[in-house]
Amino acid sequence: MTATFDSESELQQAFLQFRDEIDAYHDRRDRLIKTSRDITSLSKKVIFHLHRFSMEHAWPTYDENGQLTQTPANGRLLVSANAKLHEIYDVIRTCAMKEELASETHKPSASMLRYERCIGMSLEELVEAASFLHFLEHNSLIHHEDIQQHLRTPDGHLIMYVSPMRYLLGLCDLNGELMRLAINAAACPDPMHVIERVLSMQRAIYDGTLKSFGREGKMWLLSMSILTHATDTLQPWSH
């Protein structure tokens, strides 16, 4: 009887441990999903903020040193957007440390890989916001490492892992914001100048995703055809 009792006690203890582990998993998952929604909301606010970018004057313009210049109003807007973006990075870093997702190496931790799907979609929104800001600031495509670098410790260890797939999907989301930018540019003094830059950026993104995913990008082809048609038909407005 004693042996049976001990066996039942051990079995019960094992199931109690399983229960605690499952409860802990779901509690952490719920917290990450909530944080993911917050990150998504904050990222969308950055994007909406960037759509206030004024094209009353020609954009992009470069100084004698080849550096892209901004009007004072646009300069203030970009500084504000950068501050908002760094607040999002702070939220992500805090979440990663609190939920023990950070790694002690240059590779993602096991817990990060386990819970990545709980927060991954918000990282796509982050990439979308960061890449849109980078485009307006530098007229170029942001690199994956430029985003990942904000989520590393000073010695290079990963705090939050932004996978290459999340990076690419974030750039795919950027497509819609570029389309909106091109449409809004129709009301500026020189719409062709802006549309050509948007078209060039979309081609760069399309070429990159084509190499990664193959020739399956029907929506990309549709967007490209619309922008190409706009480039062929719109004429610069007279000043």
Note the pLDDT tens digit of each residue in 41-64: 999 999 999 999 988 877 778 888
Tell me how crowded residue 176 is: count the other CB atoms within 10 A of its CB.
Answer: 13
Calculated CA dihedral for residues 49, 55, 57, 63, nearest 10 degrees: 70
State residue 37 phi and psi, 5-degree precision.
Answer: -65, -40
Q: What is the mean pLDDT of residues 119-125?
A: 96
Distance of CA 142 to the CA centre of its chain: 10
pLDDT at 12: 82
Picking from 156, 127, 161, the residue whose alpha carbon sits closest to that of residue 142 is 127
Q: What's the one-letter identity of residue 23? A: D
Enumerate domains of the chain plus CATH numbers.
29-233 (1.20.58.2140)
Supply the DSSP symbol for 51: T
Burial 24-33, CB ≥16 within 10 A → b, else e: eeeebbebbb
Q: Which two tokens stand for residue 74?
A: 């646009």
pLDDT at 233: 45
Q: Under 8 Å CB-to-CB from 97, ≥6 apart: which residues? A: 159
Q: What is the pLDDT of residues 12-40, one digit of tens each?
A: 888 888 888 898 898 999 999 999 999 99
pLDDT at 49: 97
Q: What's the one-letter identity of residue 28? A: R
- What is the spatial distance between Cα 167 and Cα 212, in angstroms, rounded to a whole number? 12
Q: Is the pLDDT of residue 3 over 60?
A: no
pLDDT at 235: 43
Q: What is the pLDDT of residues 67-87, one digit of tens each?
A: 888 889 999 999 999 999 999
Helix (H) or strand (E) holding 69: strand 68-69
Picking from 208, 199, 200, the residue whose alpha carbon sits closest to that of residue 226 is 199
Q: Which two tokens stand for residue 168?
A: 């690419």
pLDDT at 29: 94
Q: What's the one-letter identity of residue 157? A: H
- What is the spatial distance between Cα 228 and Cα 239, in angstroms, rounded to a whole number? 24
pLDDT top residue among 85 and 195? 85
Q: Is the pLDDT of residue 10 over 70?
A: yes
Supply the DSSP symbol for 62: E
Q: What percent of the chain has pLDDT over 90?
A: 52
Q: What's the one-letter identity of residue 11? A: L
